Chain A
Amino acid sequence: MNHIAFNKFYKNFGFLSVILIIISLSFLVFKGLNYGVDFKGGTLIEIRLENSSYSTSKVRDVFSKANLPNLTVKNFGNDTDYIIKFQKQNLNNPDFISNLKNEVSKSFPEINFRRVENVGPKVSSELLKSGIIAISLSLAAMLFYIWIRFEWQFSLGAILALFHDVIITLGIFSFLSLEINLSIVAAVLTIVGYSMNDTVVIFDRVRDNLKKYADLNIFDLTNQSINETLSRTILTSMTTLLALLSIFFLGGEILRGFSLAMILGVIVGTYSSIYIANPVLVKLNVNHNTVVKKEEDKN
């Protein structure tokens, strides 16, 4: 069996995580997240221009004639596709988008409007609210589940690991100015599930070992448990990452942000199961009695 002294680095990596969390939080506070139309409201138009000789600035010029507030034009995936976004929240004129389409078609006769999304201010704030509620609710549900299945110390360790994963993943999104839309919320929730999954497998082994070895201290016991489950941890992360990389590279532009968030989440989640969840058990001085006493109480 492999034997790597993971526990030697508990302090160093703990320190690293704290720093990463502080950096992530300051990015989230000072730079903020780049919300897409789902959460900010406004209009998104995806177009394809078969004649790829146009430049982004030419596309921007054509759209800016329509006097659209906060207009941004970006290349999307390949040379022929563009994403146009602007803050047009007033949907009361039902002809607005068709007028805009007609106007733009004059300059680009071969234009293909592939996608139009328009989200009003009320809907976008509701979507944001329900996204935040969904993430909080899932964290609470995980906490509760682990609390029922394990002792509270385990629950605390797992939940700290989850916060760590969510904060760092969002921090990276803020740092890279990647867009946050509905699918990122789904990705974050899946990360929560995955990271929990990973933590639970190690914790399950820790609990087993605590029952078996009454005199082994928690510092070494967590290390042994991590090692015993290590090949599984690596294998599962590998297969999951293989699937996600396949979505990232081949699944198209729309799923790119989603799969990136998941890839980051799986890496951070695997790391945190080892270096956040377990050190918490050590800090809380979990021992043989923590798990055995409860079994006796039950009987």
Chain B
Amino acid sequence: MLYFSKIKIITVVITTLILVYFSFSNFFKFDDNLIKNKINLGLDLQGGSYLLLEIDNQPILSQTLQNKLIDIKKIFNEKSIKAKNFSIENNKIFFETDILSISTVQNILLNKKDDDLNPYFEKFKTHQLVVENNENFFSVYLSDYGIVILNSSSLDQAVEIVRRRVDETGTNEPNILKRGNNRILVELPGLEDPARIKSLLGKTANLTFQFVSSVENDGFGTEILKFDNGLEEATVSKRIILNGDNLVDAKPRMDTQNNETIVSFTLDRVGSKKFGRATTENVGKQLAIILDGKIISAPSIREPIVGGSGQISGNFTFQSATDLALLLRSGALPAPMNIIEERSVGPDLGKDSINAGIISLIVGFCLVVIFMIYKYRIFGLIANFALIINLFLLIGILTLFGATLTLPGIAGIILTVGMAVDANVLIYERIKEEIKKENNNVIAFDSGYVKSRTAIIDANITTLIAAIILFLMGSGPIKGFSVTLGIGILTTLFSVYFIARLLSSIYVKTNKDKEKLI
């Protein structure tokens, strides 16, 4: 065990030097372009906000079923199938057919070719719909797979919109990630108070233009909506003249005539046409501008608006006009989102945590180092040297992977310092036992290393198992702990078996006749 080949020594030294170099890049600024990686500080250390959003997909599900129902009715009409009592309850479509058409209906609904009812059968060999029937009473609902696809497409869209909105606020290096099938994680480093982002993300931003209707029924149906101030309400037609999809730009602006803040918008070509036609035909009527089911304002149309641009007024402050413009520019979310978890840390707490972490690391390190020298003298020095290298290796690897260091992560490093000497202690204690039986120091050292090996490997693997499970199950800061603990075990084994052993072997070989070597 004390023999090292030249190649091995060179490899160990080079690996060590590279990783030490990497770890130094965190403390000093190098002018080369070799290392771009750096350890990232977690939100708990640098300060910032963490938001977990959950998409409420129920509205999309209801909408999808409504559309399916329309499709089904249309197809039944085309094929002259008699059906009645259509209804949607608990996310299921119910209807009744006549007895003779049961099998025809089944064939239509579970068609093996792509059509409106089963849009992806040919691709995925599975139906979007589940069809159940008790005689002529049918119930139709989305299959599990259909729901998964629905969720994942709404998640994709929502992530895109969230990213646009966050980017527009000019937040530094935001981190936006999907979590599971209906959640989005937003990390905002350096942002202490996420109030504005929260209110921006809390809005679906569904913009529609609908006419205020005086008659009860104008052919499209009407609905009563509240104004944004919550006081007044108005009856509006359900007919949507235009929605936010047709907007290409929106900006806050100062209206010099009335001295109030407005949002001006520009429409795309299709939108301009639609808007132009609707305003031409309805001069004198009130057009309600509705955001997320609330009327922002309902101005009267004084003249046709054909230029493809317009403006929204509604008692805005400059901030609220800016936010509305931002929401309109970035587009509507496919479904409403709720903030289900929020954590924010101020920068001074982060700084305090870093300081406390570093001080306890230094103190813990010094205590262990002194203890080891006191206990093992020269071999204590060797173990301590290995411990220092171990720390650099650990930091070097964290740098190499661009890992995120959290406060529990620092605790993991300190714990590694305490536990890392264990392997050397096991070896040295075993060597002490061997020296009692064996006069030859070199042989005693050799068998000390050999005989302690299984215990060291077993002991470290058990801790590694705990670290891996933490990594898989943990979140955020805790994951940071598992990373430093786990990598710490690997670097410990490396530093003990290569560095400490190399130094020990050199020392033992040159002092092999010395009595009471350890």
* Contacting pair B462 A197 (CB below 8 A): yes
Interchain CA distance A48-B347 in the complex, whole Å: 13
* Contacting pair A182 B478 (CB below 8 A): yes
Partner of B415, one of A141, A250, A262: A262
* Contacting pair B364 A242 (CB below 8 A): yes
B429 at the interface (CB under 8 A from A): yes
Nearest A residue to B354 via CB reads A252
A163 at the interface (CB under 8 A from B): no
Nearest A residue to B195 via CB reads A98
* Contacting pair A231 B341 (CB below 8 A): no
Chain B residues, Cβ within 8 Å of A114: 345-346, 348-349
Interchain CA distance A254-B43 in the complex, whole Å: 14
* Contacting pair B367 A192 (CB below 8 A): no
Nearest B residue to A247 via CB reads B360
Given contacts A142-B462, A190-B466, 5 further A-B contacts (CB under 8 A): A94-B339, A189-B469, A192-B466, A243-B415, A244-B364
* Contacting pair A252 B195 (CB below 8 A): no
Interface readout for B321-357 with A: 1 if CB under 8 Å, 0 if not?
0000000000000000011111111101100110011
Chain A residues, Cβ within 8 Å of B451: 208
A137 at the interface (CB under 8 A from B): yes
Partner of A231, one of B429, B458, B474: B429
* Contacting pair A134 B473 (CB below 8 A): yes
Chain B residues, Cβ within 8 Å of A262: 415
Given contacts A137-B469, A141-B465, A46 and B477 within 8 Å (CB-CB):
no
Chain A residues, Cβ within 8 Å of B371: 238-239, 242
A29 at the interface (CB under 8 A from B): no
Number of interface residues of B (CB under 8 A): 76
Interchain CA distance A205-B198 in the complex, whole Å: 59
* Contacting pair A250 B408 (CB below 8 A): no
* Contacting pair A200 B462 (CB below 8 A): yes
Q: Which residues of A are in contact with B by a Cβ distance under 8 Å?
A: 46, 48, 91-92, 94-95, 97-98, 101, 112-120, 122-123, 127, 130-131, 133-134, 137-138, 141-142, 145-146, 149, 182-183, 185-186, 189-190, 192-194, 196-198, 200-201, 204-205, 208, 228-229, 231-232, 235-236, 238-247, 249-252, 254-255, 258-259, 262
* Contacting pair B372 A239 (CB below 8 A): yes
Chain A residues, Cβ within 8 Å of B202: 92, 94
Partner of B408, one of A137, A186, A196, A198: A186
Interchain CA distance A228-B437 in the complex, whole Å: 14
* Contacting pair A241 B429 (CB below 8 A): no
Q: Which residues of B are in contact with A by a Cβ distance under 8 Å?
A: 44, 52, 54, 192-193, 195, 198-199, 201-202, 338-346, 348-349, 352-353, 356-357, 359-361, 363-365, 367-368, 371-372, 375, 407-408, 410-411, 414-415, 417-419, 421-422, 425-426, 429, 433, 451, 454-455, 458-467, 469-470, 472-478, 481-482, 485
Chain B residues, Cβ within 8 Å of A92: 202, 338-339
Nearest B residue to A130 via CB reads B473
State the Cβ distance, A1 to closest chain B Cβ, in Å: 8
Interchain CA distance A133-B474 in the complex, whole Å: 11
Given contacts A97-B195, A112-B346, A134 and B339 within 8 Å (CB-CB):
no
| A-B contacts, 12 listed (Cβ < 8 Å) | A91-B342, A118-B343, A145-B458, A185-B474, A189-B470, A193-B467, A235-B429, A236-B421, A239-B372, A239-B419, A251-B360, A258-B411
Given contacts A145-B465, A242-B367, A115 and B415 within 8 Å (CB-CB):
no
* Contacting pair A239 B368 (CB below 8 A): yes
Chain A residues, Cβ within 8 Å of B52: 123
Nearest A residue to B462 via CB reads A196
* Contacting pair A243 B426 (CB below 8 A): no
Q: Main SS of the interface on chain A?
A: helix
Partner of B411, one of A185, A196, A251: A251
Given contacts A91-B342, A145-B462, A201 and B426 within 8 Å (CB-CB):
yes
Chain A residues, Cβ within 8 Å of B356: 250-252, 255
Nearest B residue to A208 via CB reads B451
Interchain CA distance A4-B470 in the complex, whole Å: 38
Chain A residues, Cβ within 8 Å of B419: 194, 197, 236, 239-240, 243
Chain B residues, Cβ within 8 Å of A255: 356-357, 360, 407-408, 411
Partner of A201, one of B44, B348, B407, B459: B459
* Contacting pair B475 A197 (CB below 8 A): no
Chain B residues, Cβ within 8 Å of A239: 368, 371-372, 418-419, 421-422, 425
State the Cβ distance, A264 to closest chain B Cβ, in Å: 14
Given contacts A46-B349, A94-B195, A204 and B414 within 8 Å (CB-CB):
no
Interchain CA distance A122-B54 in the complex, whole Å: 10
Interchain CA distance A186-B44 in the complex, whole Å: 16
Interchain CA distance A262-B3 in the complex, whole Å: 39
Chain B residues, Cβ within 8 Å of A189: 466, 469-470
State the Cβ distance, B470 to closest chain A Cβ, in Å: 5
* Contacting pair B469 A141 (CB below 8 A): yes
Interchain CA distance A200-B463 in the complex, whole Å: 11
Interchain CA distance A234-B447 in the complex, whole Å: 23
* Contacting pair A258 B408 (CB below 8 A): yes
* Contacting pair B417 A243 (CB below 8 A): yes
Interchain CA distance A239-B367 in the complex, whole Å: 8
Nearest A residue to B433 via CB reads A228
Chain A residues, Cβ within 8 Å of B375: 235
State the Cβ distance, B261 to closest chain A Cβ, in Å: 20
* Contacting pair A204 B339 (CB below 8 A): no
* Contacting pair B469 A134 (CB below 8 A): yes
Interchain CA distance A142-B466 in the complex, whole Å: 8
State the Cβ distance, B376 to closest chain A Cβ, in Å: 9
Partner of A183, one of B344, B408, B467: B408
* Contacting pair A250 B363 (CB below 8 A): yes
Chain B residues, Cβ within 8 Å of A208: 451
Chain A residues, Cβ within 8 Å of B475: 127, 182
Nearest A residue to B419 via CB reads A240
* Contacting pair B343 A116 (CB below 8 A): yes
Interchain CA distance A294-B385 in the complex, whole Å: 41
Q: Which 8 A-B pairs have the closest CB atoms?
A: A243-B418, A193-B466, A246-B364, A252-B356, A98-B195, A193-B463, A134-B473, A94-B198
Interchain CA distance A197-B460 in the complex, whole Å: 7
State the Cβ distance, A195 to closest chain B Cβ, in Å: 9
Partner of B193, one of A98, A146, A235: A98
Interchain CA distance A189-B482 in the complex, whole Å: 10
* Contacting pair B342 A116 (CB below 8 A): yes
Given contacts A46-B349, A231-B429, A247-B414, A197 and B408 within 8 Å (CB-CB):
no
State the Cβ distance, A69 to closest chain B Cβ, in Å: 18
* Contacting pair B459 A250 (CB below 8 A): no
* Contacting pair B368 A186 (CB below 8 A): no
Interchain CA distance A94-B451 in the complex, whole Å: 62
